[in-house]
Structure 1
Amino acid sequence: MSASRTLFSCSALALLLAGCAVGPDHRPAQPQAPADWSAWHGGSAALLGAERKAAPTAAASGDWKAFGDPLLDQLQARALAANHDLQTAALHFAQSRVQRTAAAAQQAPQLNASASVNRQRQSESGAATRMIDALGSSVANRDQLIRTLSEPYNLYQAGFDASWEIDLWGRVRRSIEAADADAGASAALLQQAQLSVQAEVARSYFELRGAQRELRVANADIAAAAESLELVQARADGGLVTDLDPTRQRTQLAELKARIPMLLQQEAQAMNQITLLTGAAPGALNAELAPASDGAGNPLEALQAPPLPELALGLPGDVVRRRPDIAAAEAQLHAATARIGVAVADLYPRVTLGAGFGYESAGSERFGEWGSRQWHVGPSISLPIFDNDRRRSTVNLRELQQQEAAVAFQQAVLKAWHEIDSALSAYAAERQRHAELAERERSSRDALTLAHARYANGLTDFGVELDARRALLQARRDQVQSTSRMAVGMVAVYKALGGGIPAAPGTPGLKVLVKLALPSPVPIVSTPQWVTSRMKGSSLSPCTTASLCIRISVGPEPIIGMRRHSALGRWNARLSQSPGRFCVPRSIEPSLRISPGQAMPMKGARRMCLRSQ
């Protein structure tokens, strides 16, 4: 009875202590945003959007649809399904889940069954003989007894053993905690690999379309230069100009043709990169990636600039947490912290409850009888004594590894802020540059028109027209390249933000509004949805002054949003009861947003009025 009470008391005490867990507890990190986040981008409202308002996180797999390109969406899906780097990352994640399952199995009792049949013989001069000799003369027939004990015999054994380690100090729980964190880190790294592959697919795709746009523009320039050469040659044949003019024109034509091989090489390189990312052989996607054409064989997609979504970043503190690499770094810090507890628990005794039951018999005829049974039950304790230095060193090692993981997390956060800042700054600068390049192209085109007219009338030599043509060609080339850089810059922003750019507040998802000719979003006039169909049929009528007036006879006070353009000064907005009126300078081509995702360009006159029907 006393033995049973002692066993019960020890078991109860062990279960009570099993709620303890040594080692430090992990506390989720709170990465802080820079003190002056908006100042990094010059306070650009077009980029920061609803920076101070919380916004939900968008999934990385769906954000690329905001570009509105079905072929890009298909390429993204193929890359996610067939990219070998992603398959490797997925296998690493699967391994981490298996390791977590193995760690969790330590909490369950261990049960082992065994059975054996052995033919064995004892030594005539072994322990049994020594015991017989110790008894001396009291043992009759000593020699006969020794011979009997040393005769071979069969030993039948069968049974099971069960053991359960009582997790007094939380060693097993800390091991499971570390395995969970490792699995979380592997999941985040898999997501990071998916994001990187998607970003590379998008970047290569936009570079491909950029090369195709440059090819289309270059071929058009070659055709125009060849036509100009014919005209100049005709004038030279007629004696109106010297042979120098057609010679200079041939030189320019040769320069234009020399660009074609380089552009074709860029196109082929981008195609090969896309096929590699999607797990396809070289040339497998050439037909799909070729620019689409209309019925007359004119390329369409190669001339279309990629639409770019608006940006609304949300709370600055949430921007970094969307990045998978930050989640992976935090999970690795969590795992390193949990492993300290595992090492500390190894300093203390391990208590195991064990039990066993089975049968043992020297003959098969009695094997399985109740009298052949054997059993044992009770706790066991294992206490480290002579390897304490090794265990202490392991604790110190785990603490240093945890500090290393903490520094790595801080570096990952700092690197993330730098990448976000660089991506947003580069994108904002390229948008502003693109607007200036558009104005440069218009001015260069006007200059070429004037130079050609003066040359045709004999007022200037051909060199003036040739210089004007070269300026226009360079302006067109720079604008096409800027368009591609804007798209690639937006991809960099997506990647820097962890693949998730929430929708602007009040809009259903990411809708395209940015026109590539503008450095910032155009004025927005929000109207009730039931007015949209009537607004589509609104009439445009020329006005007299150099401003754009928008009249909307809806509601007592229409909602009007505006942006500020540094080159135009502050736009003026004025609300009236009915109709609403909003005027801006007519220095650049604006767009009126009449419904989410739709834009109506205002062209053709210095001033236009939009009146609802």
Structure 2
Amino acid sequence: MRPLAPAVLPPLGGARTRAAAMALGCLLAAWLTGCASSRQELVPPAAVASDDAPAPWSDGPHQSAATPPRVAGLALPGPWWESLQSPALSALIAQAQAASPTLATAEAALRQAEALQNAQAATTAQPQLDATVGAQRQHTSPAALGQSGEGRSFSLYSAGLQVRYLFDLSGASQHTLQALAARTEWRRHEQTAARRALAGQIAATAIARARWAAQVEATHTLVQQQQALADIAQARVRLGQATPDEALALQALAAQTRASLPPLRQQLQQAEHVLAVLAGQPPGIQPLHAFALGDFTLPTQLPLRVPSQLVRQRPDIQASEALLHAAHAEHGATVARRYPQLQLSANLGSQALTSGALFGAGAAVWALGGQLVQPLFNPAQQGQEAAALAALQAASAQYQGVVLQALRQVADALGALDHGAQALQALREADAAAQASAHTVQRRYALGAASYVQLVQAQQQATQATLLRAQAQAQQLADCVALYQALGTP
């Protein structure tokens, strides 16, 4: 705040004038103290490391060779979901961002916050102007003045303009405006977070749909293979080459595998319903793309952020920081209520006994006024300041907690990628071996060197290996999506 120029006062005489001067001096001292104490700058808490500090998720010797390399400062050519190379996924996300009720709610909340901020800014910067028009009927009684005679009734008409302006001496209005600006920024980051979360939910659900579809297909094939073995066992029982227990055990295994199909189909259907709702349409009305694992490609490189970059990237951290700024400004506005407030007002109008004379030359009235108010005793002030300070401390602790949770989510996502890559690599090798074994047995069966039972058993092992590999592949894709979300990648 700009320092107040020294006041030049005329010589005053008498006890009353000296008391008035002392009172004015106390008010000016209180005002200057209020300006100094209520306009403190916010110092954000040091909750994250610097750019020079090593990231807790840096590449190390434990990283699997199958994990895509992580490049510091990698800039993606487009939105992160395009790195999965699925045009159907990109089209569905674009449709959802245009029709999602969740995003519409976030955008409306942002517009509301912007309107409140603009209203407070206009109130702080400009005076308030009111136009008044009135008419009243009055009756005067001479007896009230100790006189005799009859009373008189008359009409009084008035019209005028009133201007009021409140000087922000203590900074309360400015703090209130800063709090509204911070909450507008919070809403803006919330909208960004909602948009990115929607994309992440759609990508994760589409991958889950592909996973359930692969499991349904593999399980159905497995049921057919197990049923074929059970049929062979039944034929061998009729020929006296096998016991009924062997046939019953194979039949029970096929029935158990068949029983797992309805829950898988239910989860597949639920994933499709979730995708429809996320896209902003009722389930079952319009068919969506049937996502399969072949629609997605694991990224060849993954982005890596150090902690300070993570703070600038994740909208939830930015939103929490905006709430911290809002709490600090609200605390300043509460403290500023201790100090004087100066309001100037001006009235210009006219009054007349008849409506025809209301705008005549002799009907004009005007008034100028100023009021300086210094609060002396407010029993709620101390409690309000304590509540505002507690809210500021809570916002600071919440900010630190959000940052720590973000670091944990990134570390967990990278760990899941490393471990998932190791598992996927092993299952790919197992699948390749099972497929090669099934191919060998099939060639031996064609040459008459292997039985049909051996062929079906080899095919069954290959199907089970394919099922496990598909599950691991889907999990690796989901872990990539989780990493993009944890890093706050646009």
- Identity, in percent, stands at 25
**Partner in structure 2 of residue 604 of structure 1:** none
Q: Counterparts in 2 of 1:475-490, with a 5 A limit?
A: 475-490=465-480
Quick check: 172-181 or 245-254, which moved more? 245-254
AA aligned to 1:371 is G
2:96 is the alignment partner of 1:79: yes
Structure 2 SS opposite 1:414: helix
**Partner in structure 1 of residue 318 of structure 2:** 327
Aligned CA-pair RMSD: 3.7
Structure 1 SS opposite 2:283: coil
AA aligned to 1:378 is G
Deviation at 1:411, TM superposition (A): 0.4
* Distance 1:341-1:374 versus aligned 2 partners, 3 A rule: same
Deviation at 1:405, TM superposition (A): 0.3
Q: Counterparts in 2 of 1:236-315, with a 5 A limit?
A: 236=236, 242=242, 253-285=254-286, 287-290=287-290, 301=292, 303-315=294-306
1:116-161, CA deviations, whole angstroms, 9 ceiling, x for partnerless residues? 12221013332xx1xxx4xxxxxxxx534xx3xx311111211111
Higher relative contact order (CA 8 A, sep 6+): 2
AA aligned to 2:382 is R
2:357 is the alignment partner of 1:357: no
* Distance 1:382-1:94 versus aligned 2 partners, 3 A rule: same
Quick check: 232-241 or 343-352, which moved more? 232-241
2:53 is the alignment partner of 1:27: no
**Partner in structure 2 of residue 111 of structure 1:** 129
User: What is the aligned counterpart of 1:340 among 313, 324, 331?
Assistant: 331
Q: 5+ residue gaps in structure 2? A: 1-7, 10-23
Deviation at 1:393, TM superposition (A): 2.5
Q: Distance in 1 between matches of 2:58 and 2:161?
A: 69
**Partner in structure 2 of residue 99 of structure 1:** 116
C-alpha contact (below 8 Å) 1:185/1:332 kept by paired residues = yes
Which structure is higher in helix share?
2
Deviation at 1:65, TM superposition (A): 2.0
Q: Distance in 1 between matches of 2:197 and 2:313?
A: 14
1:290-331, CA deviations, whole angstroms, 9 ceiling, x for partnerless residues? 36xxxxxxxxx4645544352121444202331111011000
Deviation at 1:29, TM superposition (A): 5.2
Q: Distance in 2 between matches of 1:40 and 1:68?
A: 26
Structure 2 SS opposite 1:348: coil
AA aligned to 1:114 is T
2:383 is the alignment partner of 1:393: yes
C-alpha contact (below 8 Å) 1:38/1:48 kept by paired residues = no
Q: Distance in 1 between matches of 2:57 and 2:387?
A: 42
Structure 2 SS opposite 1:81: helix
C-alpha contact (below 8 Å) 1:203/1:488 kept by paired residues = yes
* Distance 1:57-1:31 versus aligned 2 partners, 3 A rule: farther
AA aligned to 2:368 is V
Deviation at 1:461, TM superposition (A): 8.6
Deviation at 1:251, TM superposition (A): 5.5
C-alpha contact (below 8 Å) 1:216/1:302 kept by paired residues = no
Aligned residues: 458
TM-score (ref. length: structure 1): 0.66
Structure 1 SS opposite 2:280: coil
AA aligned to 1:321 is R
AA aligned to 1:123 is S
* Distance 1:360-1:255 versus aligned 2 partners, 3 A rule: same
Q: Counterparts in 2 of 1:4-43, with a 5 A limit?
A: 20=35, 22-28=38-44, 31-33=47-49, 36-38=54-56, 42=60
**Partner in structure 2 of residue 509 of structure 1:** none
**Partner in structure 1 of residue 18 of structure 2:** none
Quick check: 348-357 or 405-414, which moved more? 348-357
**Partner in structure 2 of residue 589 of structure 1:** none
* Distance 1:115-1:305 versus aligned 2 partners, 3 A rule: closer
Structure 1 SS opposite 2:328: helix
1:151-210, CA deviations, whole angstroms, 9 ceiling, x for partnerless residues? 111112111111111111211111110000001111111222222222111111111111
AA aligned to 1:191 is T
2:308 is the alignment partner of 1:317: yes
User: What is the aligned counterpart of 1:50 among 68, 71, 76?
Assistant: 71
Q: Distance in 1 between matches of 2:285 and 2:489?
A: 28
* Distance 1:440-1:392 versus aligned 2 partners, 3 A rule: same
C-alpha contact (below 8 Å) 1:23/1:340 kept by paired residues = no
TM-score (ref. length: structure 2): 0.81
C-alpha contact (below 8 Å) 1:25/1:338 kept by paired residues = no
Structure 2 SS opposite 1:152: strand
Structure 2 SS opposite 1:429: helix
Structure 1 SS opposite 2:140: coil
C-alpha contact (below 8 Å) 1:67/1:309 kept by paired residues = no
Deviation at 1:385, TM superposition (A): 1.8
* Distance 1:302-1:57 versus aligned 2 partners, 3 A rule: closer
Q: Distance in 1 between matches of 2:409 and 2:377?
A: 51
Q: 5+ residue gaps in structure 1? A: 134-141, 292-300, 501-613
Deviation at 1:382, TM superposition (A): 1.6
Q: Distance in 1 between matches of 2:75 and 2:41?
A: 29
C-alpha contact (below 8 Å) 2:97/2:195 kept by paired residues = yes
**Partner in structure 2 of residue 519 of structure 1:** none
C-alpha contact (below 8 Å) 1:41/1:421 kept by paired residues = no
C-alpha contact (below 8 Å) 2:75/2:303 kept by paired residues = no
Deviation at 1:220, TM superposition (A): 4.2
Deviation at 1:258, TM superposition (A): 3.7
Quick check: 190-199 or 217-226, which moved more? 217-226
